[in-house]
Amino acid sequence: QVELVESGGDSVQTGGSLRLSCAAINYATEKKYCMGWFRQAPGKERERVASIAADGGTNYLDSVRGRFTVFQDNTKTRLDLQMNNIRLEDTATYYCALSRLPSIILGRGCRNWSGRDLTTWGQGTQVVVSS
């Protein structure tokens, strides 16, 4: 069974940078699935921040596009999220995720991946932004 382990969450000031990392353990099957980062702020619904498809295509939440970048290593078992020019509204618990549907089904860059089902989750890592 695949296990996702996140790290890198921290407290940061607005305008700062942070890099989150996710390791996919026991992910040995054909790498045809989406990987991505979701976040959930207190009192809000979980939202997909960035995702990457098996073909390397990416998709970003509008509010983070141009500030956040997702990186996947060649083995496709590590996924990093580089967060730059961080804003107060980026405060949330960030979750690494792996779809259980092939990325070819979930659209370009996995843009149709809601995470509501057929998704494996990490335990989450917290990002707290202060001014």
Q: What is the pLDDT of residues 65-117, one digit of tens each?
A: 999 999 999 999 999 999 999 999 999 999 999 999 999 999 999 999 999 99
In the three-class reduction of DSSP (H, G, I as helix; E, B as strand; rest coil), residue 89 is classed as: helix
Give which of 3, 94, 5, 2 is closest to 51, Cα–Cα: 94
What is the tens place of the pLDDT at every residue in 63-78? 999 999 999 999 999 9
Q: What pLDDT shows up at residue 31?
A: 84
CB atoms closer than 10 angstroms to residue 97: 24
Does the pLDDT of residue 29 top 80, yes or no?
Answer: no
Q: What beta strand segments (E) does 9-83 contain?
A: 11-13, 18-25, 33-40, 47-52, 58-60, 68-72, 78-83
Mean pLDDT of the chain: 96
